Structure 1
Amino acid sequence: MRKTNFERRRLSLQCQLDQKKTHKERNKLGQFATPSLLAKSIVEHSISLLGEQTDIHFLDPAFGTGAFFSALLNMERAGNLVRAQGFEIDPCYAESVRELWRDTSLNLDILDFTRLSPPNQQSERYNLIICNPPYIRHHYMSREEKIRLQELTLKTCEMRMSGLAGLYCYFLCLAHSWMMKGGIAGWLIPSEFMDVNYGKAIKNYLLKKVTLIQIHRFDSEDVKFDDALVSSAIVWIKNTIPPPNHQVLFTLGDSLSSPSSSKWVNSSILMTEEKWTRFPSLNIRHNSDNFCLADIFEIKRGIATGDNAFFILTEKQVKEHKLPTEFLKPIIPSPRYLYTDEIQADDEGMPLLERRLFLLDCNLPEEEVQKKYPNLWKYLNFGKGTVSERYLCRHRKIWYSQERRYTAPIICSYMGRNRSETGRAFRFILNHSNAIASNVYLLLYPHKKIAQYLALEPSRIRKIWEILNSLNPTSILEEGRVYGGGLHKIEPKELGKVDATSVIDALPAIAKPTKVVQYSLFES
């Protein structure tokens, strides 16, 4: 059979197998098939790093239907292939995938790679590992499974993995013991590890246990997987101890062979830089004594209700259920329904908005609610056994009592896409009302000394708000993270690191804050 026919058959098989599962089922297994052209370019680049005359011992620990193996067979270097091993956990793949590759050198085992013991001998290991590991988020992993994997990675790589890490992080670390000395690995993984706290262990591994060769990131608007809104990166490593003053190549763009931008970054810089997605587009930043937003504001996420559809009600719903007003708090609608960046209020502090919403929040025990507030009791019973069993609700002392959040004078949207007319993904909103906000917003509370200054004259908070909205959008975007399709997100600590020099300059000496010390991600 001609090698090119393998890929046509493989794509047909992939389509058939995908159709046997719902999107939700494949999502739970982390099954996102690698596009053919992407697999081809990854394999080509990986082989170029391996060296011309080297025999190839190939391993894909999350084989699927074999996109990388198929690409390898179509390379000129395919004649150097000595052996090929694939592992696949899904038994649905077993018979048809084995039949597809029956006449090749592939050995395919339908096993869970994370439960296998690595080879003891160097000769039994692999010098070319290419993998698109399962993208299973930590929410779908049991506590017992996380503990098992954490113990394994600690033993294998001396890396303590966060409980928030997805399964792909464990695959990358556990594969270390399967690599020959001097072997090459190429990993197609979500780029979020480059920015998030749980990625600390992965970045430590890449900088200390192996030689990090290159990270290629695709444009955030270019979603490589049709069924997953995730921004992708390819990480190439060599199983050697990194040399002193090692330089890592960062590339960006649709093409691996012709990236739109590139930058060499010293590994010592990467040890202190928390946001690796700065590269290659942005310059290396050096320690700065500039003030940041955390010096001015305490920044918190808004309220996480556990079930917005149940706990956040419209005026019409409040009237229909005849709910007592003492257990209702005005709450700001999500950014998609907020058509202004300044929320005015009536004499009672109620927001003057077309869409008026209320948060249900009661800290009375059920017996008292049933006795004194029959309408509220009736409504709560709609959520008994369903809403009450959701994660946040069942971990509260009273399942319908909300966490404490006070009204913030300025709030910021938590997620967003670049708006072409402003170039901004995030909105700073001036809040004159008593309304609180849900966790789709970040709440900015001025520190005590600044709050006292602002309280003396209402126009002062407006000035601060105007300055915030005039900040360079890039200075905010570079502190957050970006997902497939150009969706940006920023957490409280990330927003707190945005340069706030222009805000500080607008404050008189009596209101200027004391500098808050920022710590490196890699400090012990």
Structure 2
Amino acid sequence: MNFIANETAQKLRGGYYTPEDLATFLCQWVLEIDPKRVLEPSCGDGVFFSALRGAGAPSTLEVTAMELNDQEAAKSRRRAKEVGLPAAKVHVTDFLSWALEMSGREEATFDAVIGNPPFVRYQYLPEPFQVKAEQVFRSLGLPFTKHTNAWVPFILASMKMLRPGGRLAMVVPAEIIHVMHAQSLRSYLGAECRRLVVIDPEELWFAGTLQGAVLLLAEKRRDEADKAQGLGIYEVRDREFLRMKPAKVFSAPQSINGKTVAGKWTRAILDKETRDLFDELGDHEEVHRFSDVADVNVGIVTGANKFFLVTDEVVAKHGLERWAYPMFGRSEHCPGVIYDTKQHAANAKVGNPTNFLWFQDSEPLRYKKSKAYIEAGEAESLHTRYKCRIRSPWFSVPSVYSTEIGMLKRSHDLPRLILNKAGAYTTDTAYRIRVLNGTSAEKFVACFFNGLTALSAELEGRYYGGGVLELVPSEIEKLVIPLPGKIKAGAKELDKQIRTQTAREALEVNSRIVLGGLGLSHAKQGCVLNGWKRLRDRRHRTTSDEKVEVEAV
């Protein structure tokens, strides 16, 4: 978990400024409609003022800008004068408060919006800003979540102030495409805009951060009769696209509507053949939604994993043997798809924390060594942490049980299920899964590892810095799982493949078994695998022209 005390001042105020060449490109695009009034909701040091003039904006252009930091606002004012935008006004204020106050006024309607909104997590925002963020959602009748980020209400408020036919051009996090907390924004943009284009770069544009960024170009519908075309994603490499006219870039990607715009936008990255095949397979009688064949629940929530998850050495030193139970919770604990006593012993041998301390009552306080261990935890104020302080005693963890299948919350290449033959416990870094409807746990684990489910995970999940894929229970429940009745898929052979081959090689081999069991041709298997590979490579920010060819065996 990230705590505010551990974050830099730059990150806490979202202060990552836009390179001027990108800002100029965005300004060139909005200037195509000859705007008279432009909004910049978070102007920073004024880079978009320079970009506007560099893109050919007239000196008479009226720019209304906001900046919370008074020193940065002063820089913006100076820059506006230096570049020749005398009509620019920089307000030292919170944009969300200003937008709510000005709502409905004629002077708060703009021809264009440009900028780079702050990337700040909701929990890091001061309480007054949190309140304003929620008010923005409510003013538009949109569902609100405290998992949101400052850039989401910034764009919502900006779009509301944009006139019909106006244009919004912003630098936004790449997560706009897939994170759950941006769903309200995606739905709103899909309804309000005639056309949406996301310029998606191969590389990271901001030094010193793992946060990917994209350019969002949105043109608002003129009226109800102005039909929404949908979303297009334009993938770019380096800065080559900057040599093109913005109008050409905006018109280049094919627009996709329907479920692509209504949900996550990841589908728009795939070609039509792959999207159609994915939808076709979703209707196959032997392909199921995860929630129809299995239950998923979070692992054990300790509130202090370093205290409760310990090595054999810690157990022996503090005399904790009677409270120590086997556990796994990291990818290095589970290199295959089977967790058994052999794997558990191997983990313990290299010093991994393979023990979960389950103090079911106050018994450990009666023993000198275990009491000292608990007191050492209190000396580190562990008992004051939220999850610990709401239970009594604080060191007695609730909801402790194991399931026959586990699944790690995050993965590098693709998610996999773990057949838990050791009956080990898992913390909240993993999920506990129970199979329904009589399907064996071993077959479920083996069939889960295939190209269709891997592609489904890329479409349903989200990723963060470093390209790690994460799935929460509500996303796992939507995954599509082939369970062909005619095949005998075994976890033992799959476990060996995953331990000795690359993820892609193992996936190809097992896909031939599982997808072949559905009667899927080798060409269509290759289409599914290439769709997965495209999204996986994009998440990792790697490129490859290599295509997967599935051969008959």
How does the TM-score come out when normalised to structure 1? 0.77
**In the alignment, what sits opposite 1:28?**
12
Out of 319, 322, 326, the position equivalent to 2:319 is 322
How much does 1:99 deviate?
3.1
Encode CA deviations 1:75-123: one digit per residue, 9 max, x unaligned: 13x1275212221112342444433333332322221111212265435
Distance 1:302 1:206, change over 3 A: same
1:383 to 2:377 alignment: yes
- Equivalent runs, 1:230-245 vs 2, <5 Å: 230-240=211-221, 241=223, 243=225, 245=227
CA displacement 1:133-176 (0-9 Å, x = unmatched)? 11111221356643343124312x23232222111111112224
C-alpha displacement of 1:23: 6.4
Given the alignment, which residue of 88, 109, 112 partners 2:67? 88
1:399 lines up with 2:394 in the alignment:
yes
Q: Secondary structure at the match of 1:175?
A: helix
Does the Cα contact within 8 Å between 2:443 and 2:488 map onto a contact in 1?
Answer: no
Equivalent residue letter for 1:87: M
The residue correspondences of 1:72-221 to structure 2 (distance < 5 A) are 72-76=52-56, 78-79=57-58, 81-103=60-82, 104=84, 105=86, 106-116=88-98, 117-118=101-102, 121-123=105-107, 125-141=109-125, 145-155=129-139, 157-208=140-191, 210-219=192-201
Q: 1:92 to 1:359 in 2, by over 3 A?
A: farther
Select which of 228, 236, 258 maps to 1:246.
228
Question: Residue 443 of structure 1: which of 401, 407, 432 is its match?
Answer: 432
Cα distance in 1 between the residues matched to 2:290 and 2:216: 33
Please give the alpha-carbon distance, in whole angstroms, between the structure 2 residues aligned to 1:342 and 1:376.
32
CA RMSD of aligned residues (A): 3.1
The answer as to whether partners of 2:159 and 2:168 remain within 8 angstroms in 1 is no
Specify the alignment match of 2:442 in structure 1. 462
Code of the residue aligned with 1:295 in structure 2: it is: D
Q: Secondary structure at the match of 1:411?
A: strand
* 8 Å Cα contact 2:231/2:268 also seen in 1: no
Displacement of 1:486: 2.8
Are the structure 2 counterparts of residues 152 and 247 from structure 1 closer, same or farther at C-alpha, using a change threshold of 3 Å? closer
Alignment of 1:337-348 (within 5 A): 337-345=333-341
User: Is residue 263 from structure 1 mapped to residue 254 from structure 2 by the alignment?
Assistant: yes
SS for the counterpart of 1:279 is helix
Quote the Cα distance in structure 2 between the aligned partners of 1:402 and 1:504: 41
Deviation, 1:280, is 3.0
- Given that residues 111 and 166 in structure 2 are in contact (C-alpha distance below 8 angstroms), is that contact kept between their aligned partners in structure 1? yes
Q: Specify every segment of 5 or more residues in structure 2 that has no aligned partner in the other structure, as ranges.
A: 1-5, 490-553
Structure 1 residues 350 and 100: CA distance shift in structure 2, 3 A: closer
Aligned match of 1:493: 474
Compared CA separation, residues 485 and 205, structure 1 to 2 (3 A): same
How far did residue 212 of structure 1 move?
Answer: 4.7
Alpha-carbon spacing, 1:197–1:124, altered in 2? closer, same or farther (3 Å): closer
Q: Does the C-alpha gap of structure 1 residues 469 and 207 become closer, same or farther in structure 2, counting only changes over 3 Å? A: closer
Q: Secondary structure at the match of 2:480?
A: coil
Matched with 2:406 is 411
Deviation sequence 1:392-426 (CA, Å, 0-9, x none) = 323444432324243233323322333xxxxxx32
Q: Provide the TM-score with structure 2 as the length reference.
A: 0.74
Check 1:252–1:237 CA distance in 2 against 1; reply closer, same or farther (3 A cut): closer
Match of 2:431, SS?
strand
Aligned counterparts of 1:124 and 1:496: Cα–Cα separation in 2: 43
- CA distance 1:96–1:186, change in 2 (3 Å): closer
Is the counterpart of residue 57 in structure 1 residue 37 in structure 2? yes
Taking only the aligned residue pairs, the percentage that are identical comes to: 20
Q: Amino acid of the residue matched to residue 308 of structure 1?
A: N
Work out the CA distance in 1 between the residues paired with 2:250 and 2:415: 28
Alpha-carbon distance in structure 1 between the residues aligned to 2:424 and 2:394: 22
Aligned to 2:423: 434
Q: Secondary structure at the match of 1:306?
A: coil
- Inter-partner Cα distance in structure 2 for 1:484 and 1:223: 10
Cα distance in 2 for residues equivalent to 1:167 and 1:502: 42
Tell me which residue corresponds to 1:373: 367
The residue matched to 1:263 in structure 2 has which SS? coil
For the 8 Å contact 1:251–1:259, the answer to whether it is kept is no
3-state SS of the aligned residue for 1:102? helix
Q: For the residues of structure 1 that align with 2:160 and 2:473, how far apart are their CA atoms?
A: 37
Taking the aligned partners of 1:416 and 1:176, their CA distance within structure 2 comes to: 35
Change (3 A) 1:36 1:305: farther
Whether contact under 8 Å (2:300, 2:428) holds in the other structure is: yes
Partner of 1:434, secondary structure, is coil
**Superposition deviation, residue 223 in structure 1:** 2.2
Question: Any idea what SS the aligned residue of 2:460 has?
Answer: coil
Alpha-carbon distance in structure 1 between the residues aligned to 2:470 and 2:355 = 25
Letter in 2 for 1:227: G
Q: Residue 129 of structure 1: CA displacement? A: 0.8
Who is 1:291 aligned against? 288
The separation in 2 between residues aligned to 1:214 and 1:311, in whole angstroms, is 48
- How many residues were matched structurally? 456
Match of 2:206 among 225, 242, 258: 225
1:74 Cα deviation (Å)?
0.4
CA distance in 2: counterparts of 1:193 and 1:495, whole angstroms:
20
Partner residue in 1 for 2:464:
483
The C-alpha deviation readout for 1:463-519, integer Å capped at 9, x for no partner, is 4323222344323322212335432222223223222223566599xxxxxxxxxxx
